[in-house]
Amino acid sequence: MTTSRRRRGLLAATAVSAATVLAVTAAGGATAAQTAGPNEGKGKAAQAENTKGKERKGNYDARTPNAKTTTTRSAKVAGQESAASEKFRNSLGTQGVVELDPNTGTPAQVSKLNGFLTGKSGKKATDVALGYVKAHPEVFKLSAADLGTLKLRKDYVDDLGTHHISWIQTVDGVEVFGNGLKANVTKHGELISLMGAPVAGLASQAQARSAAAAPKVSAAAARTAAAEDIGGTAKSATAKSAGTATSWSNGDTAKQVWFHTADGLRKGWLTYVNAGGMKIYSHVIDAQTGALLYRKDLVSEGNGDALVQDNYPGAAKGGTQRVENLIYNKWLPKNAKTLLEGTSVAAWADVNDDNAPNPGETVKVPGTKTGAEYKLVPFQTTASSFCSTSFVCTWDPAKPDSWKTNMNQDVTNAFYLASNFHDWLAKPPISFTPAAGSFDTAGGDPVHLNALDGAATAANGGPDANHIDNANMSTPPDGTSPTMQMYLWHFPGTTDAQDPFVPASGANDASVLYHEYTHGLSNRLVVDATGNSTLNSIQAGSMGEAWSDFYAMDYLVSHGLEKDTTAPGEVLEGKYVAAGQLFRTQAIDCRVKAVSPNCIQPDGSKGGYTYGDFPTIGGTPEVHASGEVWAQTLWDLRERFGRSYAVSLITRAMELSPADPTMLDMRNAIVQADLVASGGKNADTIWTVFANRGMGWYAGVIDGGDSFPAEDFHKPPTGATTTLSGTVLDKDTGAPVAGALVYIGGHSSGYAGDYAGSTNSKGQYKITGVAPGTYPKVVMSAPGYELLVQPATVSKSGSKSNFMPRRNWAASSGGGSVVDFNGPDFTPQCGPAMAIDNAQGTGWGSTTGDDAGTPTNQMIEKHIDIKLSGKVNVSAFNVDPSNTCGDPGSSSTGGYRIETSVDGTTWAVAQQGTFTADNRGKYNLLTPSGNATGVQYVRFVMTSPQVPDFATNCPDGAFGGCQFTDMTEIQVFGTK
């Protein structure tokens, strides 16, 4: 039986995908936003985060399913590096970047931070890029036949004159999903960077696969499979086929693609499916087997005379309705009369949340012979004390259908704000134009704006728990319309203490709507070669939330609608719905060590955040809270350089970004943007800003899923480079560990390339071209062993850093296997085997009660039985009990029991206890209390989730742990 796995986030950004709260994930792996439990952390957002609402299936990518496979493949690639390739890397210098994709062995990124890859040239930008690829076959590995598979997808020029070019790869008219080639070339013909991980030997691989790759699964069957995968059903619609693509009258699509994994090419169906509500995803379904190859959550969680407001009702600036002509501004066509279907936005009140404009949900174009429409009617309700002239309430939660009073005003104001922001983003220095991927009716992808989304989904005519205190925006690739959903705020039947938000609509809060709209900007600019958003991990997802806050508040401040003086703590996202209090945990303009009531850290210390605060800002790693350090850093750049230049750098950096970037990757992209704009004149100042926020040269991060980055406050060193080398030996036997990947986190993201090396048969590795200094995260990963992270100080004469990992006898990569389990099987993305894949980026997700996930207050114990790779005298268990599979924190394992057996039949308890929120996101070492000798089998039992007061909060509460209980990983150490 298939059970839907769902989640929610406040002002969610999951086309992002946002990411796990775990310490280690695979780049592009199975990730999804995971939120803190109720009342965890500071600020109203943290208080309301998980008290009600949806949970969702996370992302999945068979190319990089988990950290174990990624690092294993990377080690193989590193071990095969040629002398010519090493020479090429070293030729780029200390600030050169070369990262090789673990599947293709071709570059995921080649660039420099302190210069260009080539000099000035009068050649076409495309010729400059392809010429460089042809000149370096030792790195790019593309033959003439491979170059022949490249098809130009896009070449647009930003307002600095930079060409942003992307090629897709095609064979027999079918394109490769995700892989291709991206290039960035200055207006002077200088090559800035190359990315994309193109597939070498594509034509020959396709020819070898062609006989076996004829689709056995139809486009319609793939669409159905995709809808069912996300717990929905494919809507009844008329299909129309053209070549290898099919489209349906409701907007769903399916087209054939090649999908490249480490095991070679597969033929698949790339689908876009809108199954209603927030079930809007892209999938790749295997065309032969119907299996899941890829899942991407596209939803990102916050006559013409109209009466509109520019900020929010009651605001000191922009809080009074004024007249705006929607036709004069060319937001509506001249003949528009009955529908708000404009040049970039189509808006209606989707009160039943079916994503379609039904009778009674559309709004007539405002304006009469006698004046403008629609006047806002204020509410003064006993349901909340927040209603005032400063924060005007627009409905009464005590009368759930009272939203009808201001429906026309609500939809019209949403249409105005979205249309206005579209035009603002299109202007320099942002320049989010149709060529860059903006949302336009002429281009076939206007924003579908669902105001009052789900306002009538409860039996009493009001919103249900899934349609309150939130907003979101889904962002498909260019050419397909995004969907923005704006909800009501303040849940009926709750007090102000229980739900501390103004009874209002998100469509009347400009900061909330602009936040959501900006998710469209970031998800259209940070993409792979085929145009798919790559904001997947928690680092990338956190920046997605931060960009949304930054661009929203930048607009309001630059228009004088919100105050920003030299005093810190003034600029507040979500000010209206939060009744003037903190919506985030701090204001966006909090400098480091700033003194302000709105700049107090969770531990009581003063001042804005630094990189090391990433996991603790909201009490636990989570994209909205963790992203605050990035938002504040961007505001620092705004204060240092002025609005225009800072916004230009920040936007251009998104266009220069590698896939699934960390904050350090985006720091590098901003340095590169300044290199393009000024020749690097401001590099020292930019490095000073980032170093002040803990994102200095030696800052460390394992990969994009690392929730616990190590901060550093140094600018880049100068001088000669040296070597870091060492050995990797088994801690228990002293034997060398071959094929281990060792890399310096923050300079290599778990990929082969610069600042990375692989061990030989003697367990020896060597990393050349390393700048002297102390690196807090040097990472060792090897199949069948624990992942180790340790600091290393590299001297000018070179240094050694040795690793002694323990054998993990449970790891599937070392021969362990799951031989039995109970409960449902959520394979491939979070089945039982994910508990022993040696990667914290994935885990085992199960249900709390019955296999259908029916929420009750009764736990049905779930267990997995693991056969170890040998008989072991167990010295310790290592357990990460964290939520996975896109579930919230309350789904983490609370009560647990570990049993052992010598034969798989007779079991005895070896350890038991209870995990709390403090145990999430990390391994917890547990010593057996007994029954640890000659063990061949280990059973891990989840006896309860981490739902507060589980006995009373389920099923009436909305905690995810009422339905699902998860754990991320179990390791078993000992001697054979």
Residues 785 and 832 in one domain: no
Please name the residues in contact with 689: beta carbons below 8 A apart, sequence gap of 6 or more. 633, 636, 637, 640
Parent domain of 786: 722-800
Give the pLDDT band (50/70/90) at residue 957. low
Residues 663 and 760 in one domain: no
Higher local confidence (pLDDT), 235 or 772: 772
Give the pLDDT band (50/70/90) at residue 725. very high
Q: Is the pLDDT of residue 288 over 80?
A: yes
Please identify which residue in the block is written with the tokens 């460390």. Answer: 700
Please name the residues in contact with 135: beta carbons below 8 A apart, sequence gap of 6 or more. none
Give the pLDDT band (50/70/90) at residue 23. very low
In this prediction, residue 392 carries a pLDDT of: 97
Q: Is the pLDDT of residue 774 over 80?
A: yes
CATH at 795: 2.60.40.1120
Question: In the listed set 759, 777, 800, which residue is the last one of a domain according to the structure?
Answer: 800
Residues 793 and 818 in one domain: no
- Is residue 885 in a domain? yes
**3-state secondary structure string, 511-525?**
HHHHHHHHHHHHHHH
- Is residue 420 in a domain? yes
* 803 vs 778: CA distance, rounded Å: 10
- Is residue 299 in a domain? no
* 802 vs 677: CA distance, rounded Å: 43
In this prediction, residue 39 carries a pLDDT of: 26
Q: Convert the pLDDT of each residue in 248-264 to its tens digit.
A: 988 889 999 999 887 78
Distances 638 to 104, 254, 300, 587, 589 between C-alpha atoms, Å: 39, 43, 25, 15, 10
- Is residue 79 in a domain? no
Distances 782 to 67, 750, 753, 795 between C-alpha atoms, Å: 11, 12, 17, 26
Residues 846 and 870 in one domain: yes
Give the pLDDT band (50/70/90) at residue 213. low
CATH at 853: 2.60.120.260
Give the pLDDT band (50/70/90) at residue 942. very high
Judged by DSSP in three states, 766 sits in strand
CATH at 407: 3.10.170.10
Residues 543 and 644 in one domain: yes
Distances 891 to 299, 468, 574, 945, 967 between C-alpha atoms, Å: 22, 21, 28, 5, 8
- Is residue 891 in a domain? yes
The alpha carbon of 78 is separated from its chain's Cα centroid by a whole number of angstroms, namely: 27
Question: In the listed set 754, 772, 800, which residue is the last one of a domain according to the structure?
Answer: 800
The pLDDT of 941-962, averaged and rounded, is: 86
Residues 786 and 638 in one domain: no
The pLDDT of 349-368, averaged and rounded, is: 92
Residues 709 and 733 in one domain: no
Residue 939 phi, psi dihedral angles, 5° rounding: -115, 125
Q: Is the pLDDT of residue 511 over 70?
A: yes
Question: In the listed set 774, 800, 826, which residue is the last one of a domain according to the structure?
Answer: 800
In this prediction, residue 56 carries a pLDDT of: 59
Residues 605 and 544 in one domain: yes
Give the pLDDT band (50/70/90) at residue 69. low
- Is residue 127 in a domain? no
Q: Convert the pLDDT of each residue in 520-535 to its tens digit.
A: 999 999 999 999 999 9
In this prediction, residue 527 carries a pLDDT of: 96
In this prediction, residue 707 carries a pLDDT of: 87
DSSP, residue by residue, 909-938: EEEEEE--GGGTTS-EEE--SS--SSEEEE
Q: Is the pLDDT of residue 13 over 60?
A: no
Which range is least confidently modeled, 345-354, 548-557, 761-770, 826-835? 826-835
In this prediction, residue 641 carries a pLDDT of: 98
Residues 758 and 704 in one domain: no
- Is residue 837 in a domain? yes
Question: Which one, of 178, 132, 186, 131, lies nearest residue 153 by Cα?
Answer: 178
Q: Are 88 and 754 in contact (CB under 8 A)?
A: no
Give kind and range of the element (H or E) at residue 540: helix 538-558
Question: Which one, of 53, 10, 35, lies nearest residue 946 by Cα?
Answer: 35
In this prediction, residue 750 carries a pLDDT of: 57
Residues 560 and 680 in one domain: yes
Higher local confidence (pLDDT), 952 or 712: 712
Residues 747 and 883 in one domain: no
Structural domain total, the chain: 3
Share of the chain above pLDDT 70, in %: 91
Q: Are 722 and 772 in contact (CB under 8 A)?
A: yes
Residues 773 and 854 in one domain: no
- Is residue 455 in a domain? yes
The pLDDT of 949-970, averaged and rounded, is: 86
